[in-house]
Structure 1
Amino acid sequence: MKAAYITGHGGNEVVEIGNRPDPARQPGEVLVKLHAATLNRVDLYMRDSGAGITHRLPQIMGLDGMGVVEEMDAADRFLSVGQRVLIHPTVVCGRCEFCQRGEIILCTKVSFLGEHRDGTLAEYVSVPAANVFPMPGRLAPDEAASLGVTYLTAWRMLFTRAQLKPWETVLIFGVGGGVSLAALQLAKLTGATVIVTSRDDEKLKNAATVGADHVINSATQDVAKTVMEFTAGRGVDVVIENVGQAVWSSAMKSLVRGGRLVTCGATTGDQPPADIRRIFIRQLQIIGSTLGNFNEFRDLISFVDKTSLRPIISARYALDDVHAALDHLDSGRQFGKVAINIADH
């Protein structure tokens, strides 16, 4: 089968597009013929170094994906051959204490597609049946594929970890990136007031079109001071951020007393000043979050089915053009997801 895979670490010179062995479906697994996937920051990380992530080379890239069921166990009553489905990228043991209580994202033996094992930038992938979910009917294949990582990550951050309420105000850093833009869309659809930041005026203009109530250019404006102006000196209930060190101080200063900061990344550094005095005096909550579990994915898909949410695709590329797609993501100029169309559909 055709696939995009890494043969080493560096730049696009280690990313090849060519033939790889078809996956051998095991009992209990579903073989999916992939139609679309989207790129995520971890694809760049795996290409660049993959440091700290156990993997073997060559390895097929890609975490999320949409396709159709090609083959499955005859006894499976929840899926059917030819059905349009989405892939959850987390493969787990099912037996550790965290899996037993439904928190599969904390599995002690967790492996992720595109990180620890072959991923979705290929014509086929075989995954456990538990990782395969019916696709929302009204979305395009690449729109649906994007739900599996960025939208699921934003969903867990907002509603499981932060417990965002419709009457609250949320500050989202770095709008335009996948998780931040997803968080904006999801928060608005649930009724929250949303403030977003970016260093790019065009992205801020686009965010306002999508529904942001207030925008802040973090290159020219003091984020915390501007947040206080927007909130009459109160601050925001929730901060959503995946930037890390560069925005940490502003994020902490923007929170109302008792507010919650949820983080899922550290693209600018993972050792920000702790500001412990502010944390305990103002009784702030600092909450980590990664991806989402099967129940959260099911809830997200149901939410998409019942609302007007439509994931935003910034650019579309064929699998043969994955180098250009990676460059697009690496440039930071995208507003939404960078999609890879794998097959005609």
Structure 2
Amino acid sequence: MRAYAVNCFCEPLERVDRPDARPVGTEVVVEVTRCGVCHTDLHIQDGYYDAGGGNKILLADRGVTPPVVMGHEVLGRLVARGPEAPIADADIGKTFLVYPWLGCGVCEVCRRGDENLCARPQSLGVFRAGGYAEQCVVPHPKYLVDATGLAPALASTFACSGVTAYSALRKVQIDKEKDLLLIMGLGGVGLSALNIARGLGYQRVAVADIDAGKRELASRHGAALTVDPRHADAGARSLAQAGGAAAAIDFVGASATTRFAVDVLQKGGTCIVVGLFGGDITLPLPTLVLRAISLRGSYVGNLAELKELVSLFRAGSIEPLPVEEVGFDDVNEALMRLRAGKVHGRLVLAR
């Protein structure tokens, strides 16, 4: 089978030929027809995360070493199963979305359903071969979510951008009708969050982005207010006039964006950081106490949340985000476009 692998960090992906998958035990094999291109893939290609102050979190130190077949937004047809896989013969040939954020499967965190928070992650497209290939091996059919009837390109994005946005929103505890929710960054995950928030009943959503085109896109998708965070004083004034943000979700995760989000919170507000752009912030401890604000992280989402999100889309509760399909052979061009910030919505590899 064909696959596209990072053979050396900081280098373009290379096409490689690998043997066709032969599932063992509880494994199943998905013939990949769609795979989303995610900003996380850029960090994997680079081999590190920016920790601020000139420091780096090296993926090699976390057990990620080339060659890496990336791709964690996987959708395709179930084509084979191992002898111990608990799945019906009738499911062979069906289209499934793959939950990629796997853990060790045996620790207490995994047993309670939060495999995405496992201390020994086995995520597809990171620690295990992912969907930038003709086939993807999944260790157990419990990670398959029926995608029958869903638009395939859109559905593939649910496994990361969708569930990441949904999980972050589930951590927000504000009045959906009266309070202001701020979304920092309208990349693919931020736009997913805006659409999901509107579908969940949030009436007052503000969006901050440095790209005028993305701010216009936010307005078309129901944002009540848009601001340019580069003009921090003007943006803060606009948000203050709207009553301040009761909660902010930072889908960029850079020093400047998190700093802006924290600064515009109301007393008692919460800032949730999702993005991994990198950097650090300094927060005076008396400010944290006197303003009674909360700062927390949110990492992707769990399998139950993915299933909830799929149900919401099936019910027609959420407006779909724009998705552009490109061929698998164009994966390097897709990654370069994403790196340059020239994508409105999501890019999905398709065959």
TM-score scaled by structure 2? 0.89
- How far 1:2 sits from its partner (Å)? 1.2
Contact 1:136-1:301 at 8 Å conserved across structures: no
From 250, 253, 258, the equivalent of 1:248 is 258
From 18, 21, 27, the equivalent of 2:19 is 21
Corresponding residue of 2:310: 301
RMSD: 1.9
Corresponding residue of 2:161: 150
From 270, 284, 287, the equivalent of 1:275 is 284
Unaligned 5+ runs, structure 2: 49-57
- How far 1:79 sits from its partner (Å)? 7.0
Corresponding residue of 1:138: 150
From 265, 268, 275, the equivalent of 1:265 is 275
List per-residue Cα deviations over 1:179-218 (Å, max 9, x = no partner). 1111111111122111001111111111111111111122
- How far 1:95 sits from its partner (Å)? 1.6
Corresponding residue of 1:89: 100
Corresponding residue of 2:209: 198
Corresponding residue of 1:102: 113
CA distance in 2 between counterparts of 1:81 and 1:164 reads 43
List per-residue Cα deviations over 1:35-83 (Å, max 9, x = no partner). 1011111211111124233124222111111111111256424970111
1:164–1:153 Cα change, 3 Å: farther
CA distance in 2 between counterparts of 1:302 and 1:136 reads 12
Contact 1:197-1:217 at 8 Å conserved across structures: yes
Corresponding residue of 2:33: 35
1:115–1:75 Cα change, 3 Å: closer
CA distance in 2 between counterparts of 1:43 and 1:320 reads 16
Q: Which amino acid aligns with 1:181?
A: L
List per-residue Cα deviations over 1:298-331 (Å, max 9, x = no partner). 1111111112435423532101111110111011
1:70 aligns with 2:79: yes
Q: Which amino acid aligns with 2:172?
A: A
1:325 aligns with 2:323: no
CA distance in 2 between counterparts of 1:78 and 1:96 reads 31
- How far 1:163 sits from its partner (Å)? 3.5
Aligned to 1:172, the other structure's residue is in SS state strand
Contact 1:314-1:334 at 8 Å conserved across structures: no
Aligned to 1:36, the other structure's residue is in SS state strand
- How far 1:136 sits from its partner (Å)? 5.6
Once the two structures are overlaid, the 10-residue window that deviates more, 49-58 or 143-152, is 49-58
Aligned to 1:303, the other structure's residue is in SS state helix
Corresponding residue of 1:224: 236
Once the two structures are overlaid, the 10-residue window that deviates more, 310-319 or 86-95, is 310-319
Corresponding residue of 2:325: 316
Corresponding residue of 2:51: none
1:3 aligns with 2:15: no
Contact 1:34-1:122 at 8 Å conserved across structures: yes
Corresponding residue of 1:45: 43
Aligned to 2:282, the other structure's residue is in SS state coil
Unaligned 5+ runs, structure 1: none
Q: Which amino acid aligns with 2:41?
A: D
Contact 1:143-1:310 at 8 Å conserved across structures: no
Contact 1:90-1:131 at 8 Å conserved across structures: no
Contact 2:104-2:121 at 8 Å conserved across structures: yes
Q: Which amino acid aligns with 1:265?
A: G
Identity %: 27
1:181 aligns with 2:181: no
TM-score scaled by structure 1? 0.91
Q: Which amino acid aligns with 1:46?
A: I
List per-residue Cα deviations over 1:3-43 (Å, max 9, x = no partner). 1111111232xx11232222331221221111101111121
List per-residue Cα deviations over 1:248-283 (Å, max 9, x = no partner). 2221121121111111124141x2012322221121
Once the two structures are overlaid, the 10-residue window that deviates more, 70-79 or 104-113, is 70-79
Once the two structures are overlaid, the 10-residue window that deviates more, 285-294 or 44-53, is 44-53
CA distance in 2 between counterparts of 1:121 and 1:153 reads 20
